[in-house]
A and B are shown apart, each in its own frame.
Chain A
Amino acid sequence: MDLFWQQLINGLSLGALYALIAVGYTVVYGIVQLINFAHGEIFMVGAFGAFATWVVMGSPKEMSWQMAVFGLLPAMIVGGMIVSVCMALLTERLAYRPLRDAPRLAPLITAIGISVFLQEFVRLFFGSIPGMPDAKRAIPFPTVIGISGQSIHFGNVTVQISAIFTIGALAVCTLFLWFYVNRTKTGRAMIATSQDPDTARLMGINVDRVIMSAFAVGAALAAIAGVAHGLRYGNIDFRMGFLAGLKAFTAAVLGGIGNINGAVVGGLVLGVVESMATTFIPGQFGSPAWKDVWAFVLLILVLVFRPQGLLGAKTVDRA
């Protein structure tokens, strides 16, 4: 039974990471019906932004844990957010907006182009920014005293502090998003635009700005996820956005794409399924090497049996 609880906690923390990224896919999809394939790279750029913030602050290493948790960590998150939000808005403005009326294939191909470009750009040029290490290999993520590598024990179950941070961040972000979407003017404009962009425009909503805010919100959450990833795995590299983005998209589809709560639920479910699969599937196919495969098999199964996702309502195909 201990094993079950251990894997549940592992799965939830992994799932929280997926969920934070998945929100970005789902918010953008809900409004412009675009799979922002480059979102995984926005997540990666956010992590690098957080790292760069740490370097700009003088690579602080020794400090009290209060200082680290309440000073360093928020600063890194904000730094990462600034970089990732700017990057997301830039891609929206320069690449996606001109293609808004183009056939659906065009923005998808553009998104792949952006994704490849951002990966390679970071790989080739991150090191040429003064003070930054070469990004061709994985870069060790700064340790935040009090979080990195620390854990608490409940009986035989070990819980990493970084896992608690990720789950906590997801909880805070979900609350914030709920408030933002349902209680603020921009949020309600988002709902209106996702329901009917043309009518929303007639009602005086600046649709361009709504779309930009959707990209920005997604990117901000992705930056938090980037920091969480760095704390969890201890390093970041230019490739990390690809698989994480793919998993997060899976999570978004699992929960019902376009539905914010769905993305959160989908992320958590996906994380738990992944970590359970490595433990409870017997024989060779239960080895960790197969966990990504099980995640994608889950995606395919969802598409077969419940294409609208766990929380998605049955809608007419808008394609």
Chain B
Amino acid sequence: MSRLTSALTVPREKLEKYQTAAHIGGVVAALLGVASALMTWAYKDAHVALDDVTYSGAPSALQYNYIGLAVIAALLFAGPLVFRKPGPVRDWVAWNTGARFAGYGLLATGFVAVAAIGIEAGGVINVDPGGWLALVAGVLATVSGLVLFRSPDPAMGKIKTHSIVQIFAIAGGLAAVLFAAAFALGLSGPGAFLFYLTFAGSLAFVLVRAGIFGWFAKCAADNKKIMVLAAFFVAFVFPFTQNGSDANMSIATQVLIFAATALGLNIVVGLVGLLDLGYIAFLGAGAFTSAVLSGSLYSHFHWHPPFIVTVLISGCVSSLLGLIIGTPTLRVSGDYLAIVTLAFGEIFRITMNNLDGSDGPNITNGSNGINNVPELNFLGFNFGQAHVIFGIQVGRFANYFWLMLLVLAVIMVVFVNLNRSRIGRGWVAIREDELAAEAMGVNTFGLKILAFAGGAFLAGLAGAVKAHYDISVTPDQYVFLESAFLLAAVVLGGMGTVMGVLVGATILKLLPEKLRFFSDYRLMLFGLLLVFMMRFRPEGIIADERRQLEFHAEDEDLAESVEEELITYHDHFNPDALTTEDLR
């Protein structure tokens, strides 16, 4: 990588005189982009590829998005021309860096548009001049962006804003996220979805790189509680945006189940650094327990406790299994754990297959599993039926969506509080250096067992809901590849962070649903993804700074920032203790 970039780097002096030209070129390119969206992108019935991009002068919804990106690009390119002298406004935003990424974004979206029309509508002959113009605008903007110097770090994250404004910003931002999500899920074709994804990804990148996101981050950090509540509120109202559409709600619920399980795995892998490759077995144990106790006709147990009790029993069964498997293996080196948990996953699957009456006692009906798990019925609220709330019909999946949201909230609260507690600090110490942690008096074995059994408990909770949601529970839902898939979500999103895992789970669950054409290559790409993430960004998309430092030990700036955070954190909780200043 570095060899490649160094070959592309032109000396600074040579670029000096082209800066103004590049700014102007970028603005022109962005305006070309806007112009292209006013033209037709495709020949008449090519709208199967994107949406209706076949009218001139009347942009489609997707083209409006593209226009938005182009306008932002134009503003970023034009900014330094307007604010010629360094001043507060000029320092707020990283104009050049943002502009460069906006250029990449225009190129990427233009390319996806042309490719989608070319593939889905049968040949690039269907691409009209407007589409080609969008591609040309992207190339020009990218070239202009590459000429620009990098901006100094933006100062927007340091602006002091009144808290009312901040709260409005949070509300606005989250509302935008909600509408974007609803819009994205409403798109039908894979081309349109991919186009929108490219657009949204580019926009996010531009906002982060230009420093505008820094201001939002500060708003969120200053009003943490409001932020979290608002985020949950947005997730809560999400079903209302779907007009009773089951397809999207079903995906959304699956994402939540997946995310909740991945978050449990994140305690084990992300916080303690224990690689658990049989985690799906804990989800399965929860699901089977819950199914067996659910009163399904296929279950051979005739005790049907209320769901609250079942959930707890499921969690306990899972964590008991965690104890059984963890106690022997957590005493020896961590590598063994990975393989033993893998073996355990297999034991679980085979055992569930064998408890069919002929090879063992009949508990699970073998490979047929337990079908017809009844819908949840909670204080008279039947989860299987559609309900009308505020005049909007919400279906079965929405009910489970809300239930999973609750479970996810519980898991998140557990995760965050543990992370910030004595236990969490012990875990991180074990992850960073187990011998040193033990020498400092951390009860390493006990904490590892706690993480392992606790993670299993959370998976058991998720499994209990999953059994009712899926209606049938069979052993082949809980194979090793599912564990690998969960691990991929944790690794992709960012080990040890909540946000990261939510993002990773969403990406890994949503993409295959929306992009059916790549479903056959899904697993292969995930394998590659794991390899590449470990090689180039082992800390994941959303990195935990301290975790990041473990992978990039030579990064001095990062080390300093982590140290600073630790000191403020320490002072916050021990105001009377000696500070590092005193010690100096």
A interface residue numbers (CB < 8 A to B): 33, 35, 37, 95, 98-99, 102-110, 112-121, 124, 242-243, 246, 249-250, 253, 284-285, 287, 289-290, 292-293, 296-297, 299-300, 303-304, 307, 317-319
Contacts and interface: CB of A to CB of B under 8 A. Distances in A.
A184 B521 CA distance: 44
B353 A120 contact: no
Contact of B333 (A95, A106, A249, A319): A319
A184 B325 CA distance: 42
Contacts of B351: 293
A104 B431 CA distance: 10
B436 interface: no
Contact of B520 (A113, A124, A296): A124
Contact of A116 (B346, B347, B484, B520): B484
Interface stretch (B58-66, B253-261, B463-471, B525-533): B525-533
A213 B154 CA distance: 51
B353 A300 contact: no
27 contacts: A95-B531, A103-B551, A105-B275, A106-B538, A107-B534, A110-B534, A112-B484, A112-B487, A112-B530, A113-B526, A113-B528, A114-B531, A117-B531, A242-B480, A246-B343, A253-B336, A253-B339, A284-B360, A287-B354, A287-B359, A292-B347, A293-B347, A296-B343, A296-B347, A300-B329, A300-B343, A303-B332
B428 to A, nearest CB: 13
Given A284-B360, A319-B333, 4 more contacts: A95-B535, A105-B269, A105-B275, A124-B520
A272 to B, nearest CB: 19
A303 B332 CA distance: 8
A289 to B, nearest CB: 4
B523 interface: yes
A293 B328 contact: no
B340 A303 contact: yes
B49 to A, nearest CB: 25
B409 interface: no
Contacts of B526: 113, 116
Nearest to A98: B535
Interface string B549-568: 01100000000000000000
A109 B359 contact: no
B275 A289 contact: no
Contacts of A317: 332-333
Contacts of A293: 347, 350-351, 354
A290 B277 contact: no
Closest 8 A/B residue pairs (Cβ): A113-B530, A117-B527, A116-B527, A120-B524, A296-B343, A113-B531, A304-B328, A319-B333
Nearest to A107: B534
Interface in B490-515: 491
A113 B529 contact: yes
Given A103-B550, A307-B332, A109 B340 contact: no
Contact of A102 (B333, B339, B551): B551
A25 to B, nearest CB: 10
A95 B340 CA distance: 23
Given A109-B530, A117-B531, A289 B521 contact: no
Given A108-B275, A116-B523, A307-B332, A319 B531 contact: no
A299 to B, nearest CB: 6
B334 interface: yes
Most buried by A among B275, B524, B527: B527
Nearest to B553: A101
B51 interface: no
B546 to A, nearest CB: 12
Contacts of B275: 105, 108-109
Contacts of B535: 95, 98-99, 110
A166 B533 CA distance: 39
Contact of A297 (B338, B347, B524): B347
